[in-house]
Chains A and B, each alone.
Chain A
Amino acid sequence: MAEKEVRPRRLKTASDIAKFMADYYYELDEASKSGSRKIAWCTSVGPAEILRSMGFLTYFPETHSALIGTRKMAEDFIPSANAIGYSPDICSYLTSDIGAYLQGTTPLAKAFPGIERIPGADVLVYNTNQCRDVQDWFSWYSKRFGAPLLGVETHRNIEKVTPAHTSSIAAQLENMIEPLEKIAGRRFDIDELKNAVALSRQCSVLWEKCLATASAVPSPLTFFDATTLMGPAVVGRGLQPVLDLYGLLLEELNERIERGEGVTEGPERHRIYWEGMPVWGRLSMHSKLFGGLGAAVIASTYCSSWIFNALDPAAPFESMAKAYSELFIVRSEDYKEKYIREKLEFFKCDGIVYHDAKTCPNNSNCRYGMPQRLQSKTGIPALIINGDLNDMRLISDEQTKTNVEAFIEQLEEA
């Protein structure tokens, strides 16, 4: 079988979200150039709420790396990082980002005229819940900028989140306050933190509702759309404008459901769950590939990684610690299996695709028998595609195409 050209339906709110992202980068750029605001670098699920409450503008290098990926620039940058000792086998977010810096360039310059470089850092704050690579990544920039490095060391392989887990993380978060006060030049205010946590929580609720609309048949949303729509949830959680945006998005998605409109003009014959990182340099290609075969990739673990149900303004440190420890990525294999199984059921999926990202073992959940175990328990067929988040040299498009076509053939003939 071969894919047919199908026209995707574009969401109107996507333009508002793109504008939000542009404003976000321009604000950072202005602050970096003028020194008008202190800038904190933060990992994607780092303690952004604390940083916001202390007046920092917050920059997320992982989002910058994803932009490098979508712009297909990573292969140009990675060799420069390799040359200074960062292996091609480690995180290609790290290697492409550091490589871009070494070459004095950034995709922001192409995306947003007037921006010439990434913003500098007054402080860098990581959380190892994503991986150990973020620590190395931030450490390199910390030395480069001569800016302090702060971090949270997260527990891993957590089956059930207990007070023992959260108390140690909460203590690490509280210990950041004193050094951050010195860098920010202002006193920490618990009420401001409570406000940021409350806004973050509301963002999480709205984003979760947006993603949940994909349980409708046909789905109004694809995983590929969600990877870009989630930008504000990553960089702007804890900010009021993000709530307005996701309110609009939710409204638009619900309108689609009412009209019975799917993501393309073609039929939705199969509903696929995506497990693992996106292949940033192939988002459009993969979207067309699946869509053309009548398969909608409607949900993912990845886009759900910015849902923090535990956040509670009444207990900001403890609830942040809990929210960060409840993340899928730091959980046990049994928990992950149960989680994916519930998602497959909730989203009424008849197939699951695992992306085995060569340089991202933490986000590749197909290396310890998960596909085989889940398929035998649910009967839902699984496909593993080999690739990477940013390094497109690790991808064979022809193999991916054949694998996906054969997988959809298998679902059709089942």
Chain B
Amino acid sequence: MNRTFVGVDVGSSRTKVALLDEGKNLLGYAVRKSGVDFSATALEGLRDSLDMAGRADTDIAYTVSTGYGRANVAYADETKTEIGCHARGCYHYFPLAITIIDIGGQDNKIISLDGEGRRTGFKMNRKCAAGTGAFLEEMALRLDIPIENMDALARQSTDMVRLGSFCTVFSATEVLENIRNGKKVTDIVKGVFFSVIQRIIEMDLLSENVVMTGGVVANNPYIVTMTEEQIGRKILVSQHPQLTGAIGAALYAIEGSRSGKGVRRG
């Protein structure tokens, strides 16, 4: 039997599934829109990733779920918070004292780890969408552009527009004002990205080594470049930044399997 460890990260926007083997190698993965039936989406994501890995249901040794919908994954043996899973996932790829910046669909996180991978603190954004993926979605809507085009547009900017507001709704008004004043869409989009970065770096102090994760970074790598310019140093990004939470959950699954907690399979 090929013991397989599953991590499921049910986020507000996307559900991510990652499969690891006992050697912590990524075997398969899936990213699906979370939709309204988290349970069904998590199951579909599992099927996709098992197909990709060439593994069967019966190979699953242990499953850990995380994210907003973590309690909705019927096949999970255990749940962990997304903060713990992002920490675990990042430390796996970058075993250093690091600060993690995760930009998700609905929330942002800043997580600090010491050199041993222990969490020393974390912050989440307040009850506000500013600086999150939801903010980008709203701005794309206002600008009448597909969200997937934002990264390429921002890169073409020559004279970035600065948005002054903390609030998504007020920022949208500012965007409309800039459109009315004839500003270029490329410059506004870069300003939107800059606003996201500002909202995040004001949340906490950053250590020397910074890792960025999350779907926003995966889909808009220019945000990483802009953040590097802001903080004046290189930022570490894993091969699959959007899967970080799911991979962290799968790493917890390996541990959970060893501790024998709630094992149902394998």
Q: Which of B15-23, B81-89, B176-184 contacts A (4 or more CB under 8 A)?
A: B81-89
Is there an interface contact between B83 and A409, defined as CB atoms closer than 8 Å?
A: yes
Q: Which residue of B lies closest to A412 (CB)?
A: B84
Per a CB cutoff under 8 Å, which of A1, A375, A395 touches B121?
A: A375
Per a CB cutoff under 8 Å, which of B120, B121, B123, B127 touches A396?
A: B127
Alpha-carbon distance A334/B132, docked complex (angstroms): 36
Question: How far in angstroms is the closest Cβ of chain B from A395?
Answer: 7
Is there an interface contact between B121 and A386, defined as CB atoms closer than 8 Å?
A: no
Alpha-carbon distance A384/B126, docked complex (angstroms): 10
Is there an interface contact between B119 and A410, defined as CB atoms closer than 8 Å?
A: yes
Judge if B79 is at the interface, Cβ distance under 8 Å: yes
Is there an interface contact between A382 and B121, defined as CB atoms closer than 8 Å?
A: yes
Question: How far in angstroms is the closest Cβ of chain A from B117?
Answer: 9
1/0 contact string of A393-405 vs chain B (CB within 8 Å)? 0111011001101
Residues on B with C-beta less than 8 A from A22 are none
Question: How far in angstroms is the closest Cβ of chain B from A389?
Answer: 15
Alpha-carbon distance A386/B128, docked complex (angstroms): 11
Question: How far in angstroms is the closest Cβ of chain B from A290?
Answer: 15
1/0 contact string of B67-93 vs chain A (CB within 8 Å)? 010110000001111111000000000
Judge if B142 is at the interface, Cβ distance under 8 Å: no
Question: How far in angstroms is the closest Cβ of chain A from B132?
Answer: 12
Judge if B122 is at the interface, Cβ distance under 8 Å: yes
1/0 contact string of B104-123 vs chain A (CB within 8 Å)? 00010000000000111111
Residues on B with C-beta less than 8 A from A258 are none
Residues on B with C-beta less than 8 A from A413 are 84, 118-119
Alpha-carbon distance A386/B203, docked complex (angstroms): 14
Given A2-B79, A386-B126, A396-B127; A406-B84 close (CB under 8 Å): yes
Q: Which residue of A lies closest to B84 (CB)?
A: A409
Q: How many A-B residue pairs have CB under 8 A?
A: 47
Per a CB cutoff under 8 Å, which of A2, A386, A396, A406 touches B83?
A: A406
Interface centre among B80, B107, B124 (most CB of A within 10 A): B124
Q: Which residue of A lies closest to B120 (CB)?
A: A381
Judge if A414 is at the interface, Cβ distance under 8 Å: yes
Is there an interface contact between B79 and A1, defined as CB atoms closer than 8 Å?
A: yes
Residues on B with C-beta less than 8 A from A396 are 127
Residues on A with C-beta less than 8 A from B83 are 402, 406, 409
Question: How far in angstroms is the closest Cβ of chain A from B82?
Answer: 7
Is there an interface contact between A409 and B81, defined as CB atoms closer than 8 Å?
A: yes
Interface size on A, residues (CB 8 A): 20
Is there an interface contact between A402 and B82, defined as CB atoms closer than 8 Å?
A: yes
Question: How far in angstroms is the closest Cβ of chain A from B79?
Answer: 5
Alpha-carbon distance A83/B63, docked complex (angstroms): 52
Question: How far in angstroms is the closest Cβ of chain A from B66?
Answer: 10
Residues on B with C-beta less than 8 A from A405 are 81
Chain B, interface size category, equals 20 to 34
Per a CB cutoff under 8 Å, which of B81, B119, B127 touches A1?
A: B81
Residues on B with C-beta less than 8 A from A398 are 68
Alpha-carbon distance A413/B114, docked complex (angstroms): 12
Alpha-carbon distance A386/B126, docked complex (angstroms): 7
Residues on B with C-beta less than 8 A from A394 are 127
Per a CB cutoff under 8 Å, which of B68, B80, B123, B126 touches A409?
A: B80
Alpha-carbon distance A395/B128, docked complex (angstroms): 11
Q: Which residue of A lies closest to B127 (CB)?
A: A396
Is there an interface contact between B127 and A403, defined as CB atoms closer than 8 Å?
A: no
Alpha-carbon distance A2/B71, docked complex (angstroms): 8
Residues on A with C-beta less than 8 A from B124 are 399, 402-403
Question: How far in angstroms is the closest Cβ of chain A from B74?
Answer: 14
1/0 contact string of A348-389 vs chain B (CB within 8 Å)? 000000000000000000000000000100000110101000
Chain B residues proximal to chain A, CB less than 8 Å: 68, 70-71, 78-84, 107, 118-124, 126-127
Chain A residues proximal to chain B, CB less than 8 Å: 1-2, 375, 381-382, 384, 386, 394-396, 398-399, 402-403, 405-406, 409-410, 413-414
> Closest 8 A-B residue pairs measured CB to CB?
A406-B83, A406-B81, A396-B127, A410-B119, A2-B79, A409-B84, A405-B81, A386-B126
Taking A1-B79, A1-B81, A402-B83 as known contacts, 18 extra A-B pairs with beta carbons closer than 8 A to each other, sorted by chain A number, are A2-B71, A381-B121, A384-B123, A386-B127, A396-B127, A398-B68, A399-B124, A402-B81, A402-B82, A403-B124, A406-B83, A409-B81, A409-B84, A409-B119, A410-B84, A410-B122, A413-B84, A413-B118
Q: Can you name 24 A-B pairs with beta carbons within 8 Å?
A: A1-B78, A1-B80, A1-B81, A1-B84, A2-B71, A375-B121, A381-B120, A381-B121, A382-B121, A384-B123, A386-B127, A395-B127, A399-B127, A402-B68, A402-B83, A402-B124, A405-B81, A406-B82, A406-B84, A406-B122, A409-B119, A410-B119, A413-B84, A413-B119
